[in-house]
């Protein structure tokens, strides 16, 4: 807690930055507009903020809430916590420096440009068009080849360097378009956002931070969460449809199938809800869970420590004790998926991905050592691509987890 927050007392008058808020069951989600910080408060907390914004002192607000509810609320403590979160604009007339605005991708893009995307008739029209496109693509592809394309379509040429380069270029292009869909849809709802690299377990991912969408209506939130998958589905269906029109076996047709398979792969990855994928956020919102992943991870650690305590007994606080029965059951169920999915994913990395990457690098080194110009070029490209991906992954991983290592080292 800062010194100013600690100095807030009964006679203090607190003013807030413009806040966004929405009802969330028995609670209210509140956050500073344009920021990434939101909190969930009971109705009495939201009422306290509204009363403080009228210019009432801390003591006056506490008295008025007690008179109306019979409950004495520590409004000074609430105001101090909100000050530390950057939501307080002034204390006793003393203006506080506004927190630096969150970095925004495409800052000039506003609701006035793309707000029409969230109009209900437009949504219905786009969804109907997407359904027809997918159905037509599936029917024509099966009629043309008797089946849908599989992983073998990714091996569109015998040249390994071209296969790798194609997957990198097409795969990351699809990822960036996917994230752009999230960003544009969020901007249609008036929510700033930014695209950045991150990690989920061993995977390097691009992700769009649109925390401000928590204050938007449910329909808008679901539209933002599903925008990337809708885009993947549209691109994949169009590529599959195009492959039925192109000359069979030609390079354009083979490349169209590469796009279709990679787009479908992106959709399948979103179903891995033990990571924070798009489907995870939809499930979290529909189950009205505030922090499904974080609560489940804390519960898994608690269970592990409780099992260990059978050997060394100790008191442990259940992190789910403060949740209501509905949310507690949701977290307990998701914990099973989280632990099982993470274990399988890490095992797959150890057994398949790491040996594959090591073999790929060793093969590239051997190609360079052979001295043959074509082999040297092939090996150099493989090492460059692998090295670039590893560098970006390492930077994104450190940005997310590095503070934990430095804190542990300092201890």
Residue 248, pLDDT above cutoff 70: yes
User: 31 with 20: CB under 8 angstroms?
Assistant: yes
pLDDT of residue 311: 57
Q: What is the mean pLDDT of residues 310-337?
A: 85
Assess whether 186 and 260 both reside in one domain: yes
Using the 3D structure, point to which of 49, 71, 95 is the last residue of a domain: 95
Q: Which domain holds residue 14?
A: 3-95
Residue with tokens 């390994």: 160
> What is the DSSP track for 137-168?
HHHHHHHHHSS---GGGG--SS-HHHHHHHHH
Residues 46 and 193 in one domain: no
- Tell me the pLDDT band of 245, cut-offs 50, 70 and 90: very high
Q: Is residue 375 part of a domain?
A: no
Gyration radius of the chain's alpha carbons: 26
How far CA 19 is from CA of 50, 212, 312, in Å, comes to 10, 11, 48
Percent of residues in the chain assigned helix, strand, coil, to nearest 5: 65, 10, 25
Q: How many other C-beta atoms can be found within 10 angstroms of the C-beta atom of residue 26?
A: 9
As a whole number of Å, the end-to-end CA separation of the chain is 21
Q: Is residue 333 part of a domain?
A: no
Phi (first) and psi of residue 289, to 5 degrees: -95, 135
Condensed to tens digits (0 to 9), the pLDDT of residues 125-174 reads 999 999 999 999 999 999 988 888 888 888 888 777 788 889 889 999 99
Task: Report the C-alpha dihedral over residues 245, 140, 235, 231, rounded to 10 degrees.
Answer: 160
Query: Is 117 found in the same domain as 90?
Result: no
Q: 94-95 and 27-32: which strand pairing?
A: unpaired
- Residues 117, 56 share a domain: no
For the chain, give the mean pLDDT. Answer: 86
pLDDT value at residue 5: 64
Q: Final residue of a domain: which of 286, 301, 333?
A: 286
pLDDT tens-digit map of 269-299: 899 898 889 999 999 999 988 889 999 999 9
Does the pLDDT value for residue 235 go beyond 90?
yes
H/E segment holding residue 275 = none
Q: What is the mean pLDDT of residues 26-37?
A: 80
Looking at the structure, tell me whether residues 137 and 253 fall in a common domain.
Answer: yes
Which residues are CB-contacts of 206 (< 8 A; sequence separation ≥ 6)?
172, 175, 176, 178, 179, 195, 196, 197, 198
Would the pLDDT of 358 be above 70?
Answer: yes
Q: What value does the mean pLDDT take over residues 384-390?
A: 84
Query: Any idea which of 163-177, 323-337, 392-406 has the lowest mean pLDDT?
Result: 392-406
pLDDT at 256: 95
User: Which residues neighbour 31 within 8 Å (Cβ) at sequence distance 6 or greater?
Assistant: 19, 20, 21, 37, 38, 39, 87, 211, 212, 214, 215
Given this model, what pLDDT does residue 114 score? 92
Domain count, the chain: 2
Report if residue 280 sits inside a domain: yes
- Please determine, for residue 322, whether its predicted confidence score (pLDDT) is greater than 70: yes
Average pLDDT over residues 179-192: 91
d(CA 175, CA 265): 11
Say yes or no: 202 and 124 in one domain: yes
User: Of 264, 286, 308, which residue constitutes the final position of a domain?
Assistant: 286
Q: Phi/psi zone of residue 8: left (φ > 0), alpha (ψ -120 to 50 degrees), beta?
A: beta
Q: Are residues 50 and 120 in the same domain?
A: no
Q: CA–CA separation, 34 vs 32, rounded Å? A: 6
> CB-based contacts of 174: which residues, under 8 Å, 6+ apart?
232, 235, 259, 262, 263, 266
Give residue-wise pLDDT tens across range 186-232: 999 888 888 888 877 777 788 888 878 888 888 999 999 999 999 99
Considering the domain architecture, whether residues 83 and 116 belong to the same structural domain is answered as no
Asked if residue 406 has pLDDT above 80, the reply is no
CB 47 within 8 A of CB 23: no
pTM value is 0.82
Res 364 pLDDT > 60: yes
Looking at the structure, do residues 253 and 147 belong to the same domain, yes or no? Answer: yes
Please report which confidence band the pLDDT of residue 394 belongs to, taking 50, 70 and 90 as the band edges.
confident
For the chain, percent of residues with pLDDT exceeding 90: 35
Side-chain half-sphere CA neighbours of 182 within 13 A: 26
**Residue 347 domain-assigned?**
no
Residue 199 CB: number of other CB atoms within 10 A?
Answer: 20
Report yes or no: 205 and 251 within 8 Å, Cβ to Cβ.
Answer: no
Whether residue 332 is contained in a domain is answered as no
Q: Classify residue 393: in a domain, yes or no.
A: no
- Same domain for 126 and 57? no
Based on the fold, state whether residues 19 and 82 are members of the same structural domain: yes
- pLDDT score, position 408: 65
Within a domain: 373 = no
Please report where in the chains the tokens 């000359």 appear, as a residue. 247
CA torsion 379-385-387-389 (nearest 10°) is -160
Q: Has residue 162 been placed in a domain? A: yes
Give the burial string for 111-129 (b: 16+ CB within 10 Å, else e).
eeebeebbeeeeeeeeeee
Same domain, 167 and 51: no
């Amino acid at each position: 807690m800062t010194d100013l927050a600690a100095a807030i007392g009964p006679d203090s008058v607190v003013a807030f930055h413009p806040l966004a808020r929405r009802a969330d069951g028995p609670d209210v989600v509140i956050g500073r507009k344009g920021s990434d910080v939101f909190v969930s408060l009971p109705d009495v907390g939201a009422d306290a903020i509204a009363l403080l914004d009228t210019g009432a002192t801390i003591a006056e607000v506490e008295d008025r809430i007690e008179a109306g509810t019979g409950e004495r609320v520590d409004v000074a403590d609430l105001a101090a916590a909100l000050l530390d979160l950057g939501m307080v604009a002034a204390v006793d007339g003393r203006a506080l420096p506004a927190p630096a605005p969150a970095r925004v991708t495409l800052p000039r893009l506003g609701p006035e440009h793309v707000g029409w995307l969230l109009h209900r008739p437009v949504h219905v029209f786009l969804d109907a068009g997407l359904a027809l496109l997918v159905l037509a693509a599936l029917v024509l592809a099966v009629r043309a080849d008797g089946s849908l394309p599989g992983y073998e379509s990714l091996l569109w040429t015998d040249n390994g360097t071209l296969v790798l380069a194609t997957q990198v270029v097409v795969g990351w292009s699809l990822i960036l378009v996917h994230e752009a869909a999230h960003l544009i849809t969020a901007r249609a709802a008036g929510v700033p956002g930014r695209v950045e690299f991150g990690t989920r377990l061993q995977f390097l991912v691009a992700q769009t931070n649109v925390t401000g969408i928590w204050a938007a209506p449910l329909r808008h939130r679901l539209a933002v969460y599903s925008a990337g998958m809708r885009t993947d589905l549209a691109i994949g269906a169009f590529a599959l449809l195009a492959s039925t029109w192109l000359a069979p076996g030609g390079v354009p047709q083979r490349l169209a199938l590469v796009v279709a398979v990679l787009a479908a792969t992106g959709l399948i990855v979103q179903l891995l809800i033990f990571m924070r994928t798009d489907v995870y956020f939809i499930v979290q919102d529909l189950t009205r869970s505030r922090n499904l992943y974080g609560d489940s991870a804390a519960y898994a650690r608690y269970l592990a420590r409780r099992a260990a305590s059978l050997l060394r007994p100790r008191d442990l606080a259940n992190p789910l004790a403060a949740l209501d029965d509905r949310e507690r059951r949701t977290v307990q169920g998701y914990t099973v998926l989280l632990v099982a999915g993470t274990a399988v994913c890490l095992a797959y990395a150890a057994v398949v991905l790491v040996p594959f990457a090591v073999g790929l690098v060793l093969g590239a080194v051997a190609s360079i050592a052979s001295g043959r110009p074509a082999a040297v070029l092939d090996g150099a490209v493989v090492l460059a691509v692998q090295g670039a991906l590893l560098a970006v992954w390492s930077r994104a991983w450190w940005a997310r987890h590095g503070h934990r290592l430095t804190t542990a080292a300092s201890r």
